Amino acid sequence: MSLVGKKAPHFTAGAVINGEEIAEQFSLDQYVGKKNVVFFFYPKDFTFVCPTEIHAFQEKLAEFEKRETVVVGCSTDTEETHLAWLTTPKDNGGIEGVTFPIVADTAKVISMNYGVLGGEYSFNSDTKTWSFAGAPIAYRGTFIIDKTGIVRHESINDFPLGRNIDEYIRLIDAQLHVEKHGEVCPANWEEGKAAMKATTEGVAEYFSTN
């Protein structure tokens, strides 16, 4: 089930903040009423595609901040593993220099609630045992959550497929435009391009000038 248009699932978990400090009770609730959130999942620390994405988010952090948006990462690794990776130099496969929060979903509950866990648990009523099929790590899920705590966008990539970070900036621009002007954003819309009114006349006007 898609989360778009719904309240983002609540959680409280450990996280590393500012690249160096473990926070035991981290929650996205702190941003409600204050900031938009890009909440993204990645499969594992100390891997290959993941650090390229995390560094790419960090490189665009100022662009997100200009849009009153915070970036928060999450994987099923522990806070201690996150911290070790955050103190490993970039040229040695680490993510040193990353400052946005990275959440530790060690119980995998956050990943399940957001629908990005790469497998499923099942219970055998005969043997009274649980089993897991699939990969017990998160897909590359990305969620844009507005200031009211509502999910406005979600996308999920398979493990080998890295994200385009600029697309999330474009989507935030679109959401902010809708909120400010009450217009809708057509295909390939970017900041500065024409949007349109959500009416038949608005569509006709858009196509007559574009």
CA–CA separation, 55 and 50 (whole Å): 9
The CATH number assigned to the domain holding 135 equals 3.40.30.10
CA distance 2 to 61: 27
- 21's CB contacts (< 8 A; 6+ apart) are none
For residue 193, pLDDT beyond 90: yes
Average pLDDT over residues 147-166: 98
Q: Which domain holds residue 149?
A: 13-163
Q: What is the bridge-based pairing of β-strands 69-75 and 36-41?
A: parallel
pTM listed for this prediction: 0.96
- Average pLDDT value for residue range 47-57: 97
The one catalytic residue among 28, 37, 38, 50: 50
Q: Which two tokens stand for residue 78?
A: 């522990």
Tens-place pLDDT, residues 85-144 = 999 999 999 999 999 999 999 999 999 999 999 999 999 999 999 999 999 999 999 999
User: How far is Cα 52 from Cα 157, in angstroms, rounded to an integer?
Assistant: 15
92 and 125 housed in the same domain: yes
Q: Are residues 137 and 190 in the same domain?
A: no
Is position 74 annotated as part of the catalytic site? Answer: no
